[in-house]
Chains A and B, each alone.
Chain A
Amino acid sequence: MIVTLLRTVILYVVVIIGLRIMGKRQIADMQPNELVTTILISDLATIPIQDIKQPALNGIIAIIILVCVEVALSFVTLKSDRLRRIIDGKPVIVVRHGEIDQAAMRSLRLTVDDLLGNLRENQVFELAQVEYAIVETNGKMSVLLTQAAQPITASQAQIKTENKGLSAPVVCDGKLRDEFMEAVGITPKRVEKLLKKKGAKMGDVFLMTVDAAGKAVLVKKEEQQ
Chain B
Amino acid sequence: MSRLISVGVLAVLIVVACTAGFFVIENCADSVGDALEASLDAANSGDLESTRALAARAESEFERREGALSVFIHADLVEQLGSQLAMLSDLVAEETLPEFCAEANKALIMLTHISHDTKPSITNVF
Contact = CB atoms under 8 A, between A and B. Distances in A.
A119 B57 CA distance: 75
A41 to B, nearest CB: 14
A57 B13 CA distance: 12
Nearest to A69: B7
B119 to A, nearest CB: 16
A43 B95 CA distance: 50
Given A61-B18, A67-B10, A75 B76 contact: no
A54 B74 CA distance: 5
A21 B6 contact: yes
Interface in B1-29: 3-4, 6-7, 10-11, 13-14, 17-18, 21
Contacts of A53: 74-76
Contacts of B76: 53
A64 B6 CA distance: 11
A89 interface: no
Chain A interface size, as a band, is: 10 to 19
Given A53-B74, A55-B74, A61 B17 contact: yes
Contacts of A57: 17, 21, 71-72
B69 to A, nearest CB: 9
Interface in A33-69: 52-55, 57, 61, 64-65, 67-68
A127 interface: no
A2 to B, nearest CB: 16
Given A53-B75, A55-B70, A67 B14 contact: no
Interface in A62-87: 64-65, 67-68, 71-72, 75
Nearest to B79: A53
Nearest to A23: B3
Best-surrounded residue of B3, B17, B21 (most CB of chain A within 10 A)? B3
Interface of A: 21, 23, 52-55, 57, 61, 64-65, 67-68, 71-72, 75
3 cross-chain pairs, A with B, having the tightest CB-CB distances, nearest first: A53-B75, A71-B7, A68-B7
